[in-house]
Every structure is written in structure tokens, then in C-alpha cells.
Amino acid sequence: MVSLVPSLTEAVAVSAPGALVGATDWCSHPAGLDVVRVGGTKNPAVERIIALAPDLVVANEEENREPDLTALRQAGIEVLVTEVRDLPGALRELERVTGACGVGRPRWLDEAEAAWLDPPRPPVRLRAAVPIWRRPWMVVGRDTFAGDLLARLGVDNAYADHTERYPRVPADALRASRLDLVVLPDEPYRFTRDDGPEEFPGVPCALVDGRHLTWYGPSLAQAPRVLAEALRAAVR
């Protein structure tokens, strides 16, 4: 099997050790994963993947490009494409992917589902923007997995009703959005204490682990606690 999605790579590697023969250059978990690297999520080395002769490639409709997936299918390789917009969808797709590995439902998936049944929330709901890039500034918009996780933690996305899923919003417009909080993940753009918060004087900024906010896999079991702690520390 080859995975073109970092979070799915982790899910497969943990659930079915030895099943993966290839993964992207961005697949950083689990640490020490020893497989052939096949390029990026947006620019995979299709010929290298074909040469590995996998019985299955797992991908995501948002992270991977259709022309690459079509080329793999034309080479006779089965491609399983996930579509994730919210937590329930992520749990369903993870069960589908692990099932395709020929293993039963993994324990971590049960733990993840249980962890999100009653996640910690602040006393009052917070209105937040969630930048994912700068130069230009881009934020989480409508119908996103990250937005759904934050909503379950008591944080309302200020751009949840935007027509685009990842709109470009200038920094001055973000500052004028009457925000209680700005959530700054460390991926895909690596926001840090010195790169991001300075644009939002007077507004609390929560620096969060992007793996816990945007990955759907084993990290979901710890995500409610880790994210809630980061949010609580920012607005304390």
C-alpha cells in the first residue's frame, strides 16, 4: 500500500505495521517510518509509485490532485479516495481505510471516538479566525474538518459562512472581525510566537499543534485535551 496523505499514513502504519511500501515526503508520523518516499501530496512521483506495484493507494480529495490519481488508476492501481469535512466523516473514512488494510477496527479509533463524546469547552463560546497561511493570509472557511473540531471545543469560526473553504482574507480585515481569539496552527504554515501573533495586537492567540487540529488518525484520541489546553492557555 502507498499513502499520499500524512494522517492516513500514520493511521495505516499504526493499525497494520508493514502494510505500507511508500508514503509522501511530508509523512512524518510515526517517527522512523522506513518506506520509499514518493514526493509531495500535490506533486507525487507517479512513476515511482507505479514501480512499487502497490495493491492500493490511499488519498484524499482535498490534499491530492485528480490528474495524479487518474494516472495511477490508468496504470491499473486501485485508489481509495477519502473525503473528510467533519469529525463523523473522518471516523467513517478511517474505518474504511483500516478495513482496506485487512485489519479489524483499531483500538485507537474507539479511543478517538470516545475522546470526542464530551470534549472540554470554555465557559462561553469564542469567536475565532484560523489562519493557515500568510503572504497572502488565508483562513479556514466553510465546511472544514478543523472548523468542526474547534466548534466541538466551543470555538466558532468567524469565517464558517464564507463561500470558500479557504478564503484569502487580508490581515486588516481579520483584525476588524471582532475576534475573541486567533488560532494559529503550525502547519501548513508554521506560525510561531514570533511569526503571526504580532499581527493581532490585543487579541489572544492560541498556537496549536496542526497535527491535532487537521490530521485525522491516531492523534484524534489526544486532540481534545491538547487543543483545549492550548485554547485555555491563550484566553486565561
The last residue of a domain, from among 72, 105, 138:
105
pLDDT at position 125: 94
Same domain for 6 and 99? yes
Which of residues 105, 137, 157 is at a domain's end? 105
For residues 37-72, one letter each, b for 16 or more C-beta atoms within 10 angstroms of the residue's C-beta and e for the rest, the string is: ebbebeebbbeebbeeebebbbbbebbbeeebbebb
How many domains in the chain?
Answer: 2
Q: 236 falls in which pLDDT band (50, 70, 90)?
A: confident
Same domain, 90 and 150: no
The whole-number pLDDT of residue 123 equals 86
pLDDT tens digit sequence for 90-109: 999 999 999 998 888 999 99
- Asked whether residue 120 is assigned to any structural domain, the reply reads no
Please tell me the predicted confidence (pLDDT) of residue 135.
92
Helices (H), the chain: 6-15, 46-52, 66-74, 87-100, 107-115, 145-152, 171-175, 210-214, 223-235
- Is 112 among the domain residues? no
Closest CA to 142 of 164, 168, 169: 164
Residue 86 in any domain: the answer is yes
Residue 22 forms part of a structural domain? yes
Domain of 175, CATH number, reads 3.40.50.1980
Q: Rounded to 10 degrees, what is the CA torsion of 212, 214, 216, 217? A: -40
* pLDDT tens digits, one per residue of 13-39: 999 999 999 999 999 999 999 999 999
Same domain, 77 and 162: no
35 in a domain, yes or no?
yes
- Are 191 and 185 in contact by the 8 Å Cβ rule? The answer is yes
Structure confidence by residue, pLDDT tens digits, 175-233: 999 999 999 999 999 999 999 999 999 999 999 999 999 999 999 999 999 999 999 99
Same domain, 153 and 53: no
**Is 227 contained in some domain?**
yes
Q: How many CA atoms, within 13 angstroms, populate the side-chain half-sphere of residue 121?
A: 16
Question: Does the pLDDT of residue 113 top 90, yes or no?
Answer: yes
Same domain, 79 and 177: no
Which residue matches cell numbers 493507494? 57
| Mean residue pLDDT across the chain | 95
Residues 61, 91, single domain; the answer is yes
Write out the H or E segment, with its range, that includes residue 183: strand 181-185
**Residue 113, domain member (yes or no):** no
Q: Are 184 and 138 part of one and the same domain?
A: yes
Gap between the Cα atoms of 184 and 189, Å rounded: 9
Do 219 and 142 share a structural domain?
Answer: yes
Identify the domain containing residue 135 by its residue range.
126-235
In terms of domains, do 142 and 226 share one? yes
Residues 88 and 159 in one domain: no
12 touches 58 (CB < 8 A): yes
With respect to residue 118, please indicate whether it lies within any of the assigned structural domains: no
How much of the chain, in percent, has pLDDT values that exceed 90? 94
